Every structure is written in structure tokens, then in C-alpha cells.
Structure 1
Amino acid sequence: MQLPTATRPTTFKKTRDLFRLDGKVYVVTGGGRGLGLTMAEALAEAGGTVHCLDCRPEAGPDFLEAQARAAADTECVGSLHYSQVDVRDVPQMEATFATIAAQNSRLDGLIAAAGIQRVQPAIDYSQEHMREMMDVNYGGVMFAAAAAARQMIAHKTPGNIMLVASMSGKIANKGLISSVYNSSKAAVIQLGKNLAMEWAPHGIRVNSLSPGHIVTPMVQQNFDDEPHLEALWARENMMGRLSSPEEFKGAALFLLSDASTFMTGSELVIDGGHTAW
């Protein structure tokens, strides 16, 4: 395949306009709550029409509250929409992406944020649990990205894809006995580099985001099960605290907007300095 001739943008926007998403359409998997929902809300606040996919049959209170905030914000021209999709059901996911793109004659971006975690010693891990973890955390990301790229190419709207990885894909976290989870996130980091190379000729950018410890419902369950983990994780980074989902809204908007037009195949690490010791 012959790569396109490299060119620089011929028109330049004011800085504030680089982050505007008016008229653009996005999908966020794992967008029903937690980090996925918070990043979806950031895209809507910037003007995007955002479709949140999640495995729960109906939108939960967190999503409904975010949706109401977007609708009530007079400065926000974006919107949030919910659909039940299990990222392990590839035909369902493909059909949902196709419907969203057809309704709008475009698809501009994806945040692949669906993920699960299981804290368990490796010697106790079952094949069933390993397959479930990889099917969601790796397969769900891979096939969501492929579904998005397929629609971007079909509708000639090259866009941006962000894969949610983790700093856990780079290190062995103290106090987190979760070898399969960490391995799945390492695979996502590598996947992002390869998809960026493969889809660059189509004008599609692919990057990954590796957050540090975030207090989400999934992480809160870890603390409920093992209360000592919160203090342990907090003191393992340079800032001495854990993060909140809201601290990643700017990163999501940066990677999904024209503010990052020369960035692809990269990993953005936001971990409070955890991996920089």
C-alpha cells in the first residue's frame, strides 16, 4: 500500500476552535458510567453528538444525570445518547456503529473505554475468566476500533480513535494481583500502535490513553474488598493521591479533536507520576 504524500494543514484555527466538535459524531464504549461516561460528557460539552454504548439493558442514574446536564446547558450544542451493546457481541456492535453512522452520514471518533477487572492470583485463574477478560478488554477494544474505522472509511469522514489502556499495561502494580488485567492493557497499548500504522493511509488517527488509578465504581469495589489498597495506591505516585474521572476530560477532548492532528500511534500516560519514579 502506498502511503499518501505528507501535507500540513492549509488552514489554521484559533486555539479555542481546535477543541470544538460541533456537528461531529462520536461513539464511546463503556460509556454508561465511570471514566467512559465522564469522557463522553466532555465531548458533548464541546458540541459533539455522543452515543454511549454499555452492556446494561437501560441507562443508569449516572448517565441520565449527565444527559440532563448536557440538555440543560445553554452553551452546549452537543448531546448524549444511550444504547445497550455488549462489546463481546461483535455483530451487534457492528450493526450499532453502522446505524449511528448512517443516521448522521458520518462518524468522527471513538473512545473504546469498555473494560472489566478481576483481582485474583494467576494460579487460581480459570480459563473461563481469562477468556472473559481478554474478550472484553482486548477483543472489545479491537472490534470496536475496527467497526469505527469501517464506518469512517465508508462515509469518507476520517476521524480519531482513542483506546483506553492503563498504566497497568506498563508495570506490575503493588497490591494489585491482576496479571490478566494488566496483560490485557499491555495488549491494548500495542494494538493502538499497529492500528495507527494500518489506518494512517485513510486519515484515521489512533492513540491510547493510559490512566493511573482512578476512583471509579470498578476501583471502588477493589477498596470495598480490600480497604488497605486505597492508601497503598495513593502513596505509590508522586502526587500522593488518586485521580477522579473528571481529570481526564481534557485528555479525551485533546485526542478526539483537531488539537492533536499530528499525533498518532502514541500513548498518553496520565498517572500522577506513578510510572516515572
Structure 2
Amino acid sequence: MATELFTLKGKTAVLTGAARGLGLTFATALASVNCNLAVLDILSEPSPSLLALRDYHGIKLEYYRTDIASRPEVTAAVEKIEVDFGRIDININAAGVVMDEPFLTTTDQNIERTLAVNFTGSFLVAQACANSMVTRYKSVHGSETAAQPTTGTIIFIASIATYIASSVQQISCYTASKAAIKGLVKPMAMELAPYGIRVNSLSPGYMMTDMMRGLQEQQPQLVDQFEKETLFGRIGMPEELKGTILYLCCDRASGWYTGQDLLVDGGASTWKHPANLVSS
């Protein structure tokens, strides 16, 4: 029964930011259930770990170097994916950047780059993939938009930062960009539901990504604080999100789930962290 719930054999997922980090973790999870992968990323070459998924799982995997903040590049990439794979069933928008910078001195460069990648890029890729899904829906059902089986699913990657402000990081620009992503979910879910498309977001908590490991070396006290803020006293491992992303992608598991944000944070947002008491 579990195998039937979590299978994506024959389906195609378009992922952004999967050349490394959480995006690579998501790609690994999807490949493990036989999902074909089309990866968009700005890096000239993806991680060898990503390319290894092709042979290890016997799936189709193609890498498209793309600036997701550029509409022409996104359009060209998605059109190529339609030719190469024949269909798009899933879109996961995991590309993201973050810069620790005080709000009062946040630079234009930070604002422009963060919004371009985290919001505009996610919007453009989701829009292009949704149009592809709608076209496929209409080819099967015509103009009819009655209750039909799920045509596709779109997932945005938001953040715990939209739930609680960090006392050890100054990331107002990043947080605003992720809040904007979450703001897309409900209206998109409403607009795309008639075509059988589900739209959700996933908000991870503090995860031990390559970026977090870099912080651990440069600012160990920062990571120590993150650990103290979770109920389990540790940073989450990327592998602990594999089941979550599969749940969101697999129609048999989450076909009734749309328009929502799923927070997976080790309990960090559920309690009031102990504060230092200052005696009067």
C-alpha cells in the first residue's frame, strides 16, 4: 500500500536549485521513486551526485543551465523540457539565496538579487510549468473544467523565517522574499484547481545544508543557537525532508492537499525560547 502511495514512475519533475543543497535532496528523493528529472540551475555544471542519479535509478535526467530570473531563458528551457520529456507533472522551486545584512543598511544589490532569485525566478518557472500543465489538461479534457484527476503539482520552498524572526541573523530581505512566495500559494491554488493542479509550499526549519556547514565553520555560535531553538536540540538533516517532499508530490498521498504551507522545523516555532532574565 505504501509503495502505491509513493510512486512517481513515468512522471517528470522540473526542479530549480537542484544542482546542490536542499534541491539536490529533493531530486534524490524523487529519483528514488522513479521520477524523471529536469533540473534548472545557474551553475555551469551540476553536482556529480545529481548526474549519478540517472544511472543509479535508471531515470531520465537532463540539466538546463538557466537564469530563472530571465523570462526568455525560462520559456526556452521549459519548451525544451516539453520536447525532451513530453510532459511536466511536478514543479519544485528550490533555488534561493540569502545574505545576512542589517535592515538599516540593506543594499540595493541584496534586494534586487534576493527578490530576483527567490521570488521572480520561482514565479516565472511556476508560471511556465503551470501553462504546460494546463495545455496538457485541455488536450485531454477540452475546455471543460469539472472535477478531474490531478494534472500536476507545484511546490514552492518557503522558510521558517516567515514564522519567527531570527535573533542571530539579519535577513529581513530574504524573509520578505519567502513571505512573497507563500503569498502566491492560495491564489494560485484557487486559479489552477479547475485544471487539476495542486499548489503548496514547504517551509523547512534549520537544516544542515552545505550553506549551514559553512556557517558552522565561520560562525559556530550561530549554529549553536539554531540547535538550542529546536525541541530536539539539533539541526535537521536534509534527508528528513525526503518523506515530506514525496508526500507533497504524490497524488495518491496528498491529492486532497492544496493551497497550504507545510512547516517542518523540529518544533522551533512552537515554543517561546528561554530568555536571559535580568534581575532588577
Q: Say yes or no: TM over 0.5.
A: yes
List per-residue Cα deviations over 1:248-272 (Å, max 9, x = no partner): 1111111111210000001111000
Contact 1:207–1:267 (8 Å) recurs in 2: yes
Query: Which of 12, 20, 25 is the equivalent residue of 2:12?
Result: 25
Are 2:23 and 1:36 equivalent residues in the alignment? yes
Q: How far does residue 274 in structure 1 lie from its aligned partner after superposition?
A: 0.6
Paired position in structure 1 for 2:55: 71
List per-residue Cα deviations over 1:65-106 (Å, max 9, x = no partner): 24325513xxx3434332211211221112111211233321
Paired position in structure 2 for 1:108: 89
| In 2, Cα distance between equivalents of 1:138 and 1:223 | 27
| In 1, Cα distance between equivalents of 2:105 and 2:236 | 30
Contact 1:160–1:206 (8 Å) recurs in 2: yes
Paired position in structure 2 for 1:211: 204
Are 2:269 and 1:275 equivalent residues in the alignment? yes
Paired position in structure 2 for 1:90: 71
Paired position in structure 1 for 2:143: none
| In 1, Cα distance between equivalents of 2:53 and 2:126 | 28
Question: AA paired with 2:68?
Answer: V
Contact 2:19–2:50 (8 Å) recurs in 1: no
| In 2, Cα distance between equivalents of 1:95 and 1:233 | 40
Paired position in structure 1 for 2:130: 149
Comparing 221-230 with 48-57, greater Cα deviation is found at 221-230
List per-residue Cα deviations over 1:180-220 (Å, max 9, x = no partner): 11111111111112211111111110000000011112223
The CA RMSD measured in Å over matched residues stands at 1.5
List per-residue Cα deviations over 1:105-151 (Å, max 9, x = no partner): 21100110000000010111112211111111111111111011011
Aligned residues: 258
Contact 2:5–2:250 (8 Å) recurs in 1: yes
Query: Which of 154, 178, 199 is the equivalent residue of 2:192?
Result: 199
| In 1, Cα distance between equivalents of 2:206 and 2:74 | 28
| In 1, Cα distance between equivalents of 2:33 and 2:135 | 25
Contact 1:22–1:77 (8 Å) recurs in 2: no
| In 2, Cα distance between equivalents of 1:248 and 1:260 | 15
| In 2, Cα distance between equivalents of 1:120 and 1:84 | 29
Relative to the length of structure 1, the TM-score reads: 0.89
Comparing 106-115 with 213-222, greater Cα deviation is found at 213-222
Question: AA paired with 2:34?
Answer: G
Secondary structure, counterpart of 1:268 in structure 2: strand
Are 2:241 and 1:260 equivalent residues in the alignment? no
Secondary structure, counterpart of 1:114 in structure 2: coil
Paired position in structure 2 for 1:50: 37
Query: Which of 237, 242, 252 is the equivalent residue of 1:244?
Result: 237
| In 1, Cα distance between equivalents of 2:190 and 2:256 | 13
Secondary structure, counterpart of 1:276 in structure 2: coil
- In structure 1, list runs of 5 or more residues that go unmatched: 1-13
Question: AA paired with 1:155?
Answer: R
Paired position in structure 2 for 1:160: 153
- In structure 2, list runs of 5 or more residues that go unmatched: 138-149, 272-280
Moved beyond 4 Å, runs of 4+: none
Paired position in structure 1 for 2:107: 126
Question: AA paired with 1:261?
Answer: G
Question: AA paired with 1:45?
Answer: S
Q: Which structure would you say has the larger Rg?
A: 2
